[in-house]
Copies of this chain bind each other. A is one copy, B any other.
């Protein structure tokens, strides 16, 4: 199992030290999430290049792949940062997900054009801010596990993700589960619990 370090609130040298300790004491992959520029520079200087996606870094990604088909679906392009965090988390577990971006429900035709990829997946992560409606629609289209991630994308009545979180919980699609706001890492871990 990979080890994970959450960047915010830690000084660069603290990140260097914790990541270093995890690399030293174990043999698995080590993930640093939501790193800022200084943390990123300090850690790659100290521990060598990492696989980077969005604001996350991954050292010692597994070389073996889990044979599974996970699809990450986002409602808008602004949700991509969360998608990248989920994606890199999955890679830390040896899962190589594909991503379908910008298929929010207000443009249903774009979503329907990707229907086959979605319905054939072993599991789906749905990432959506604003009203979070995509989770309900995807939940109705597939019987596979669906993990929904509300994002803080949107303004005003989106209430920094609370509206999407509530909406996903009030979803009319049964069996959709939800993780915390912007928690791409959590969604990746949830899928890893299911598929590994």
Contacts and interface: CB of A to CB of B under 8 A. Distances in A.
A88 interface: no
Contacts of A104: 136, 172
A1 B174 contact: no
Copies in the complex: 8
A39 interface: no
Interface residues of A, number: 68
Interface stretch (A21-29, A44-52, A65-73, A184-192): A184-192
B107 A171 contact: no
A163 B163 contact: yes
Contact of A137 (B108, B145, B167): B108
A146 B107 CA distance: 15
A51 to B, nearest CB: 19
Given A106-B139, A131-B131, A133-B131, A179 B190 contact: no
B163 A177 contact: no
Contact of A169 (B129, B147, B165, B170): B165
| A107, A164, A168, A182 pick with most chain B CB within 10 angstroms | A168
Interface of A: 1, 4, 8-9, 75-76, 78, 104-108, 129-133, 135-137, 139-141, 143-147, 150, 152-159, 161-183, 185-186, 188-190, 192-194
Closest 4 CB pairs of A and B: A175-B189, A156-B181, A133-B133, A177-B177
